[in-house]
Structure 1
Amino acid sequence: MTAIAPPLAGLARVNLMPRSEIVRRERDELVRRWIWIVFGAIIVAILIIGGAFWFKLMAEQRLAAEQAHTNALITEIASLSEVSQALATQSELTDYRTEAMAHDLEWAPVIAKVSGALPADAALTGFDFTVGGAPQTDDPSLEQGVVGTFAVDSPTPLDIVPIIRALRGIDGVLYADGQSITTSQASEGRFAYQLNVEFDQTVYSGAYASEDAAAEEGDN
């Protein structure tokens, strides 16, 4: 019989490295790994610190810009303080003028209304006005505006009754009355009369009314 030779399994390998060297190499590898881990942690910490410093720097710059803008606004407001004070003074003076001149009269229409009720040969020789209060309601025809005494001169005796009736029929007249001076009191053949007339506040000019009041009056 022929014997069959066993197949060759390859060359035999034997690790002749001492155990201590293997342990040393494993330890060195572990140390290198920890060194890289520590180095990575340091890099990450540096990046975090740098990012925080950058954000802090940006915040400081924005804060400085806002503070500069605020200071500029304060300076601008301070420069406008004189203008604001002048406007406030103007407003106060306007209000004072509106209050003081609330009963400013339109003289010509008042005189024309009284003169229009007189006969052709009578003449208005004088008048004495007393103004009423400032307007208190939206309807000036309901409040007393002017109380006046008018002096009338005529070369002939006048019938005072028709004159009073004519005055009472005039728009803006609240009341009218009169009295005649007798011929014994007349001088040089002329006759003098006194007419007492009370007007409402429609005779006020309204020239110095406030803008709001003028707007309301215009709407009405």
Structure 2
Amino acid sequence: MATAAVFSLGAAPRVNLMPRAETARRERASLIRRWMWGIVSALLVVALAAAGTFFLQVTAAMRLAEENARTNALLTQVAALTDVRAKLDLEGELADFRTAAMGTDLTWAQLLATVDNALPEDVSVTGFSLAPGGLAQGDDPALEVGATGTLTLSSASPAEIVPLVRELRGIESVLEVDGWQSTADDESYEYELRISFDQSVYTGAYAAEVTE
């Protein structure tokens, strides 16, 4: 069937002589090219994404290797300091032991001088048997027993035991005093007293040294 010619005024006449099969083939080829370009673009996007992921993995692996190397170096340094740590621990243990062992340290001469100063002029301390108590368990050492034991007092003339006890009870660090016994000979008089001091008589020298 022949196609009718179409004429328009003012233009040259045109006639499409290309077969319809060729037109369809060209349309299919154009469509295939567009699909191929689309596939190629998608492959490029996938390739770029894969390259970016690979780069991030390589970077993370390098950072992990650096951190592992740093950790190993630190562990090596810590291992080198093991002996120092052991010595410091031993020093701390010895300091604690010394504090516990010497926490009841007393200056006996000062303690006896305090007692002697509270006695009458004709009475003096001629002997003692005192022992320190335990370590402080509370916040106020003046409420806990420190040194406790007996005192031997001597005088050239008879003295009343009650006034002596009263004088000693007036000492700030004394918790308790009781008369125990008295003896006399031709030259002197002796008095045995039981006495307890609080823990303020401890020097605290070693505890203060550790605290600093």
Report how far residue 61 of structure 1 moved: 2.2
Q: Distance in 1 between matches of 2:139 and 2:9?
A: 130
Residues 159, 48 of structure 1: CA spacing in aligned structure 2 closer, same or farther, 3 A cutoff? same
User: Which range moved further: 111-120 or 203-212?
Assistant: 203-212
Percent of paired sites with the same residue: 44
Structure 1: which 4+ aligned runs deviate by more than 4 Å?
A: none
User: Which range moved further: 115-124 or 140-149?
Assistant: 115-124
Which of 205, 208, 212 lines up with 1:207 in the alignment?
205
Deviations 1:129-149 (A, max 9, x none): 122222222232332222233
Q: Distance in 2 between matches of 1:205 and 1:89?
A: 25
1:128 aligns to what? Answer: 129
Report how far residue 9 of structure 1 moved: 4.5
Report how far residue 58 of structure 1 moved: 2.0
1:193 aligns to what? Answer: 190
Deviations 1:14-42 (A, max 9, x none): 23333343333333323322322222122
Report how far residue 106 of structure 1 moved: 2.5
**Structure 1: gaps (5+ residues):** 1-6, 216-220
Report how far residue 153 of structure 1 moved: 4.5
Report how far residue 177 of structure 1 moved: 2.2
The two structures have a TM-score, normalised by structure 2, of: 0.77
**Structure 2: gaps (5+ residues):** 1-7
Taking the TM superposition and a 5 Å limit, the aligned residue runs for 1:176-191 are 176-177=178-179, 179-183=181-185, 190-191=187-188
The two structures have a TM-score, normalised by structure 1, of: 0.74
Kept after mapping to 2: 8 A contact 1:152/1:193: yes
1:104 aligns to what? Answer: 105
Q: Distance in 1 between matches of 2:178 and 2:62?
A: 82
* Residue identity matched to 2:205: A
Kept after mapping to 1: 8 A contact 2:165/2:177: no
